[in-house]
Structure 1
Amino acid sequence: MADPATYRPAPGSVPESPGVYRFRDEGGRVIYVGKAKNLRSRLNSYFADFAGLHPRTQTMLQTAARVDWTVVGTEVEALQLEYSWIKEYDPRFNVRYRDDKSYPYLAVTLDEEFPRVMVMRGAKRKGVRYFGPYSHAWAIRETVDLLLRVFPVRTCKPGTFERQHRIGRPCLLGDIGKCSAPCVGRVTPQEHRLLAEEFCEFMAGNTGRFIKRLEREMRAAAAVEEYERAARLRDDVRALQQALEKQSVVLGDDTDCDVIALAEDPLQAAFQVFYVRGGRIRGQRGWVVDKVEDVSAGELVERFLMQLYEEGADAGMPREVLVPAEPADATAMTDLLGGRRGGPVRLRVPQRGDKKALLDTVERNAREALKQHKTRRSSDLTARSLALQEIQEALGLAEAPLRIECYDVSNLQGTDVVASMVVFEDGLPRKSEYRRFKIRTVEGQDDVRSIHEVITRRFRRHLAERDAAPAVAAERREGAAGDVLAAYGFEDAEEGGHRPIDPETGRPRKFAYPPNLVVVDGGAPQVAAARRALDELGVDDIDVCGIAKRMEEVWLPGDDDPVILSRGSEGLFLLQRLRDEAHDFAIRYHRQRRSKGMTASELDAVPGLGPARRRALLQHFGSLRRLKEATPDQIAEVPGIGLRTAESILGALRGEPSSGEHGQGEKPG
């Protein structure tokens, strides 16, 4: 633990301006980012009375080795810079927000020629219109099923769309009128896009004009005695009304707002958001927060708003946001959100009336979410702590292995040999630091030599980064850090595509930190190879073990007998998770390489078939198997492919000479 007095800034050296500051550890990694209206006043508060600080703040100061700062012009700039640095560095002592579960959205892919309505989870992408999020996917599907009567937009996957297009027949939804069947040309692309845009407009809350339009058409049809059409339009109106009834009315018809509530305890907090559009609840979402630092409710709300409205001028950002407490700097936050929305945004803490009642409802949801999360998390934390303690005791480690790296090798009969490295920190996967390797020097099926190569490459890189760090720090001040990095060979980014850490900026290194424990998938030979690789590099402060699949035995270097952990052991369960994660990661990489190799080798054998036409063939048929099953006439339908070329393609894929190899109309002898 460092003494904060050793790196306290000199009196008068910190400016009295708005800015953002960073605490770093001995390795140069940023461990905390904060902002301040007055940098001198804020930083002095950390060093003036250490004993009076919150225990978590004391731990942060003792972990840090130095502090630096950047001056900005305004408090809005400080907000923006603080948030961007927190995203970039992922500091361990800053508050961390994460979804309390995976929420589904209703998405309309307006970036496609024929937009598709679908349920989507995960990261958003440009060109897609999103509605929600919703608590359950089935709620989305019920709503979509009702709306497809009026807005028959396609819902099929691209493969289904292409298949129906090839056979010239619509699917079941097209037959029953819940799809306009653009796959067979029943509507033009422009007509189908108009349907999709009207669907989006209805979902966005502009519902009245569609119902009124259908009612007018229904009355007009009845007036000219087209009773069947009038009955169908009546059913369409009922379908729209039923879809609206599924969304609770909570405020006036013209009210658009997001309602944010917070429930917290000293260690954790839960946020819940209700999205209200047109007075109706259109979606709900929740986040769970680990309070690594000591923060007030206003500071939590401020940072949560930055995350919630991260995506610039998002069309989903409303004019009004109801919050449980004013942000720490309400004026700067209002200006920042207004700039992102492209119009004024009002932050308000409701005190009475319908909006206060709605905020109370959202707060009850937040309290329930926090209660459920704590119930699940308590067992998880206990199990992870117990697992690390059991591994430490069983393997005789000096300390609990807070960072573990696991390695596995994958190949098919000695071909396309690859390896994987997965990382667990505090018993949880750290997927951003996973790495994969293409084995260079080993030919054939030799897992022992492959493990030796991978461990050597990984830790040779670690040693080079460690040795380069002081030179980079010194040369950066003279603007020559790039030359130093190049001298150490860091221009080669084959194994991960990341630059090493810059001690001056705190950006991640290629392999971040060395682990406490290296685990290999295998028994005594693989463990011996890993230990030998570390010894050859002079690395003697990292422990090694292996886990063999046959009896789930744990092997240590130099031991004749394995360590046997009980079947119910949390430590064994964690090692199994590591091994299985590394195995799956290696298999995925191996299959990816093998698939590319098969595609290239089989289609490359066709004379005159270039990359563009190979891509066109695979996109048209979807796979090599379907391509092999096609007829020459079907292959010739692909743009740029003639009949003779189609015959050559089939000949190459089926291992038969095509007619083109023997002359027109000639058969092989």
Structure 2
Amino acid sequence: MLALSGLPQAPGVYRFRDAGGRVLYVGRATQLRSRVRSYWGDLHGRRHLRRMVPQIARVEAVECDSVHEAAWLERNLLQRTKPRWNRIRGGLEVPVGIRVTPDGLKVVHLHSPSDADFGPYLGGAQARLAVSGLERVFPLRYTAERLDGGLRDLARMRGVSVVDRPAFHTAITAVLSRDQEHSLSVREQLALLRDRAAANLAFELAGRIQQELEAVDWIVAEQKMTRLAAAEPDHDVYGWADGLLVRFRVRNGRVDGWEQRAATQATARARVDLTPPEWAAFAARTAELARRLAPEAL
């Protein structure tokens, strides 16, 4: 019996292998345990996978720090290689960035790291909703020195002027930099606006603001699987637990490889020591999960 009870109820990426060790499928989950167990239940819209399930001999998984991080890891792995039972290479979401301009925020498609100030984010729709939410709280576009009549009237209605511009810019930059205090403040203000709209029976507006709130959560969530520019040279990340060594390949700021194999502590030590400190906790956690899921003999 597969050790599915060892899976956490946390976001992550999972991988199925057959008895010969071949990768059958790579997927992502909001809750790993529930998602993986669902393959042995009613597959609903995933009927094409029914023939795959009897072939599954082993489950491997990576616990991520957010659903957004899991989405990036899945995308990177599938861009490098597509297992037989995955239908597409990569993912459906479009990588985008957010640029802070004098006239407000702009969602941009990524062709190079210089295209955006912040990101990358998966999903243009989510990024645009997040921008809408940020501009609802910090209406930067209405703080320009010269506004035409319509914008000037809207600025007056919102009670903002050019003197608010530096504070809005600082706050937006802090949120996009994932500052927890500023991010929490934006969430609270959006929740207040949502509840006020619902109390006034403006349910469509309340629903829109709720979408914006969720999108802000998406873009400020921890995400280290892909970066706008490589912050450090190409390297590998290693974690070891009770005879099992896990390796992640990091190239050009992207985690695009994931392997695990049996290894003694002496063999693993030199590799684990090369892991950058900021990756150490993630690598150790992944190795411990791999050990819980691994059969007695690898």
> What is the TM-score of this pair, normalised by structure 2?
0.37
Highest Rg: 1 or 2? Answer: 1
RCO greater where, 1 or 2, for CA within 8 Å and sep 6 or more?
2
> What is the TM-score of this pair, normalised by structure 1?
0.19
